[in-house]
């Protein structure tokens, strides 16, 4: 077997800018394990100014850390592994609200830091915090985030690490920030991330004693967009974000009306079962003593387009895995607890408790040992103790669930909510206006301001127009034209543009764009027929088991000049035919035409697909994301871009034919493992590419009439190099590999 090590000179050096003194593709498994990190060393060249800033924070009379003391400093970050070092340029700043995030010993400051890398990553994170362990409860935080992730919730990777900052060494908690990498690590496609807005919290909350919080609390939280770069990418992403923002804003402002009767209670996903369920998440957080992470201004949310609803993102729970519920009840009270318990039925509680009892503690504790730097015996002992307390708290919550008092409806009309918010703004002397979207153009939004008449009743007035970019800023800052501005609503007629149709079938409800056609037939074989009547029609099959069913997509064709107009779905789907959280059991699917980014897109799914046949795809023919399944036979003829594009999963393709592909025959990326038995690729620009921490193995691989045969490289900073193995290989053409990747061919 020969190993090719040719440099990929045709790629920009920025694509592989991670400055490591070893080939990253040779250590992919180690680079995903925190035990591989010996230390993180940070050097801040302007050390004098950094030290002065630390003293200013410490000496300032305010109990909180002011924003002016959180400015960024250029830094050099070196990550030391047992097998080599990686050096990056980046920026650091002080992080944290309270002054427990900075401490002095012998005039030497130890501080919680936010670190942003200009290139490269640490365990796939390009942005992370190094927290003083006492600010997050040390092992409590590590155990809790691991447990939430295992139970399917989005929680940041958290582990103990030794870090040295300008020569001062200390134990820190490493915690990744709420970025796209966090979403993708949990099998979610990039989308809008929100949090409670704290811009009015500072003087009215953090400057008073915690016991007086409920007396002095005057702020209006609302929602705030975190990742404002995402909706700026396209009109489609902007529409998804705008819809998600207003849905969440309604819930956040509704909380303001219920305060202080409901001090913590919030459930933007009420009624949503299964994945993304807030009721189970809230219950588990209470059982872990994590009510701090349930404060609306502490919460983070991800909008999942496939679910059409928000999911909770764990953040700053201040978890207490060693104490009972008693002291926590003093914070939120039994009345607030009853609202949480009302949302969850006994069956769900029993399922969650069973999930806790059935936890493979031996395996879980090993993972905990890796993240906490405890030895195996100590990690198991701590894990038993923590799990026992969580179960005891869950039992107590379950008992309270049985005895909970009957609660009347707390539903308040949204118009009354807005009246309340406006009055609260006036009473607290907050200069704040509220606006509603009335129409959306190609690159601008028309909105109205809420005004009041002589009888003090609100109405819409003052039509205004703003660019998409300005509107993203409103969602990010709750500010427009230098004035605090809350985006609170859609015009009712505009909400209709987010409507869709649902067709019932024996396999489950099929969601699809209004006007498209769905029909189901039973004969020798069960057949599901889907027909586009408009180029941007879409179909979604989600949360179901699909047996030996034949699915046919009759798609419309489109000229390339139409593409920008076609991709205007308000739901963010990239496929004409989309599958989400589906288990396949001998399913077959055929697609002809389809003017979408992907003719077929399968996300977060598993099982066995007998056959996929795609012809005349406008862009990518088939796209697999965050899934694990086998395809017995995959045939693609004529695709405008990639024939097969896979990411973030584990895929086995027994037999593959890819012909006339505009770009790549097979593109394997974003940490995927791809195993193929027999593949024939012809007339593509690139035969097969394996990039960004992906490992591709094809036993028999034949590539004909392609400009490039094979490519292995690192493109995205949150990943490393790619690897290709093939046993029986034929292709006439160049093999292109960058310095962080590997290629093994016979």
**Residue 254's pLDDT is what?**
80
Distance in angstroms between the alpha carbons of the first and the last residue of the chain: 5
pLDDT at 75: 92
Q: How far is Cα of residue 484 from the mean position of the Cα atoms in its chain?
A: 28
The domain limits of the chain are 33-403, 415-495, 502-704
- pLDDT at position 560 is 45
Does residue 9 surpass a pLDDT of 50?
A: no
> Matching CATH topology for 415-495 and 502-704?
no
Between helices 361-372 and 376-403, what is the axis angle to 10°? 120
Joined together, the tokens standing for residue 575 give 């496929």
Confidence tier at 22 by pLDDT (50, 70, 90): very high
CA distance 533 to 513: 10
Q: Which pLDDT belongs to residue 585?
A: 93
Residue 565 pLDDT: 42
Considering Cα of 303, then 306, then 309, then 315, what sign does the dihedral take? negative
Q: Which residue has the higher pLDDT, 373 or 414?
A: 373
Bond prior to 583 in cis (omega within 30° of 0): no
Q: Where is pLDDT greater, at 109 or 565? A: 109
pLDDT value at residue 200: 62
Q: Which residues contact 739 (CB under 8 A, 6 or more apart)?
A: 7, 16, 23, 721
Q: When comparing pLDDT for 600 and 331, which is higher?
A: 600
Residue 496's pLDDT is what?
67
Q: What is the mean pLDDT of the chain?
A: 86
Q: How is 56-101 classified by DSSP, letter by letter?
A: HHHHSSSSB--GGG---EEEEEEEEETTEEEEEEEEEEE--SBGGG
SS3 252: helix
43-62 pLDDT tens trace? 989 888 888 888 888 877 77
Asked whether the predicted pLDDT for residue 330 surpasses 90, the reply is: no
Burial of 29 (0-12, 13-18, 19+ CB in 10 A): exposed
Mean pLDDT of 697-723: 94
Contacts of residue 607, defined as CB under 8 A and 6 or more positions apart, other chains included, come to 546, 582, 583, 584, 585, 587, 629, 630
For the ranges 205-219, 236-250, 520-534, 660-674, the one whose mean pLDDT is highest: 660-674
How far apart CA 17 and CA 414 sit, in angstroms, is 50
The pLDDT tens digits of the residues spanning 120-152 come to 999 999 999 999 988 888 999 999 999 999 999
Q: Give residue 220's pLDDT.
A: 62
The confidence score (pLDDT) of residue 201 equals: 57
Which CATH number applies to 502-704? 2.160.20
Please tell me the predicted confidence (pLDDT) of residue 4: 45
pLDDT at 397 exceeding the cut of 80? yes
Contact partners, residue 179, CB within 8 Å, separation at least 6: 125, 126, 127, 193, 227
* Mean pLDDT confidence for 62-72: 82
User: What pLDDT sits at residue 100?
Assistant: 80
How far apart are the C-alpha atoms of 208 and 202, rounded to whole Å?
A: 10
DSSP 456: S
CA–chain centroid gap for 205, Å, is 29
Taking 70 as the threshold, does the pLDDT of residue 629 lie above it? yes
**Secondary structure (H, E, C), 164-198:** EECCEEEEEEEEECCCHHHHHHCCCCCCCEEEECC
Instruction: Work out the average pLDDT over 253-271.
Output: 74
Helices (H), 2-70: 47-59
Q: Which of 109-113, 405-409, 695-699, 733-737 has the lowest mean pLDDT?
A: 405-409
Q: What is the mean pLDDT of residues 306-321?
A: 91
Say whether pLDDT at 5 is over 80: no
Q: Which is more confident, 44 or 2? A: 44
> What percent of the chain has a predicted confidence (pLDDT) above 70?
89
pLDDT of 707-719, one tens digit each? 999 999 999 999 9
The DSSP string of 681-740 is EEEEEEEEEEESS-EEEEEEEEEES-SEEEEEE--STTS---EEEEEEEE--S-EEE-TT
pLDDT at residue 206, as a whole number: 45
Q: Give the domain 415-495 fold.
A: Nucleotidyltransferase; domain 5 (3.30.420)
């Amino acid at each position: 077997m020969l190993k090719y090590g040719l440099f990929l000179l045709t790629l920009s050096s920025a694509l592989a800018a991670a400055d490591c003194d070893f080939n990253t593709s040779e250590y992919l498994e180690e680079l995903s394990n925190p035990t591989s990190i010996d230390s993180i060393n940070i050097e801040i060249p302007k050390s004098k100014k950094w030290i002065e800033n630390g003293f200013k924070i410490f000496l300032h009379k305010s109990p909180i850390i002011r924003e002016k003391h959180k400015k960024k400093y250029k830094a050099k970050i070196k990550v030391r592994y047992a097998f080599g070092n990686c050096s990056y340029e980046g920026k650091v700043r002080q992080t944290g609200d309270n002054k427990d995030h900075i401490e002095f010993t012998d005039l030497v400051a130890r501080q919680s830091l936010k670190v942003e890398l200009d290139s490269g990553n640490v365990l796939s994170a390009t942005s992370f915090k190094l927290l003083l362990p006492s600010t997050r409860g040390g092992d409590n935080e590590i155990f809790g985030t691991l447990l939430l992730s295992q139970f399917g919730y989005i929680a940041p990777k958290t582990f103990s690490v030794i870090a040295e900052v300008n020569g001062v060494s200390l134990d820190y908690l490493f915690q990744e920030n709420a970025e796209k990498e966090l979403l993708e690590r949990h099998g979610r496609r990039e989308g809008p991330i929100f949090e409670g807005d704290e811009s009015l919290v500072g003087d009215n909350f953090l400057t008073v004693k915690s016991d007086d919080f409920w007396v002095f609390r005057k702020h209006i939280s609302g929602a705030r967009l975190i990742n404002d770069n995402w909706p700026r990418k396209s009109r489609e992403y902007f529409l998804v974000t705008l819809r998600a923002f207003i849905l969440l804003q309604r819930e956040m402002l509704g909380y303001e009306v219920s305060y202080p009767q409901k001090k913590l209670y919030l459930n933007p996903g009420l009624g949503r079962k299964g994945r993304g369920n807030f009721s189970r998440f809230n219950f588990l957080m209470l059982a872990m003593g994590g009510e701090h992470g349930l404060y609306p201004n502490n919460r983070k949310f991800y909008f999942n387009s496939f679910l059409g609803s928000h999911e909770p993102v764990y953040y700053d729970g201040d978890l207490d895995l060693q104490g009972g519920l008693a002291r926590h009840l003093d914070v939120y009270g039994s009345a607030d607890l009853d609202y949480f318990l009302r949302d969850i039925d006994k069956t769900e509680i029993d399922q969650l408790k069973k999930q806790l009892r059935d936890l493979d503690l031996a395996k879980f504790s090993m993972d905990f040992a890796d993240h906490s730097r405890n030895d195996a015996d100590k990690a198991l002992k701590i894990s038993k103790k923590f799990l026992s307390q969580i179960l005891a708290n869950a039992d107590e919550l379950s008992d309270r669930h049985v005895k909970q008092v009957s609660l009347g409806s707390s539903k308040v009309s949204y118009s009354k909510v807005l009246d309340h918010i406006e009055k609260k703004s006036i009473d607290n002397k907050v200069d704040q206006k509220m606006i509603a979207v009335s129409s959306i153009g190609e690159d601008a939004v028309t909105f109205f301001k809420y005004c009041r008449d002589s009888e003090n009743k609100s109405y819409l007035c003052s039509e205004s127009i703003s660019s998409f970019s300005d509107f993203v800023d409103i969602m990010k800052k709750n500010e427009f034209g230098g004035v605090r501005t809350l985006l609170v609503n859609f015009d009712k007629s505009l909400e209709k543009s987010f409507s869709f149709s649902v067709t019932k079938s024996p396999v489950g409800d099929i969601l699809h764009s209004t006007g498209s056609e769905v029909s189901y037939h039973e004969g020798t074989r069960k057949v599901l027929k889907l027909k586009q009547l408009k180029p941007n029609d879409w179909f979604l099959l989600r949360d179901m088991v699909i047996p030996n069913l034949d699915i046919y997509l009759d798609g419309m064709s489109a000229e390339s000049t139409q593409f920008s107009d076609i991709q205007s779905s308000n739901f963010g789907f990239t496929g004409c035919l989309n599958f989400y959280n589906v288990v396949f059991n001998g399913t077959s699917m055929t697609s002809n035409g389809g003017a979408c980014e992907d003719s077929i897109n399968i996300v977060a799914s598993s099982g066995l697909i007998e056959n996929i046949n795609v012809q005349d795809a406008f862009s990518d023919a088939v796209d697999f994301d965050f899934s694990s399944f086998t395809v017995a036979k995959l045939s693609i003829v004529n695709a405008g871009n990639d024939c097969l594009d896979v990411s973030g999963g584990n895929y086995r393709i027994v037999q593959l034919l890819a012909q006339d592909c505009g770009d790549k025959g097979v593109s394997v990326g974003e940490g995927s493992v791809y195993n193929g038995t027999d593949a024939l690729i012809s007339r593509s620009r690139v035969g097969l590419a394996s990039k960004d921490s992906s490992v591709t193995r094809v036993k028999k691989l034949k590539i004909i009439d392609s400009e490039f045969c094979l490519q292995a490289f690192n493109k995205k900073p949150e990943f490393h190099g790619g690897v290709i193995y093939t046993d029986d290989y034929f292709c006439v053409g160049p093999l292109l590999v960058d310095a962080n990747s590997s290629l093994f061919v016979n």
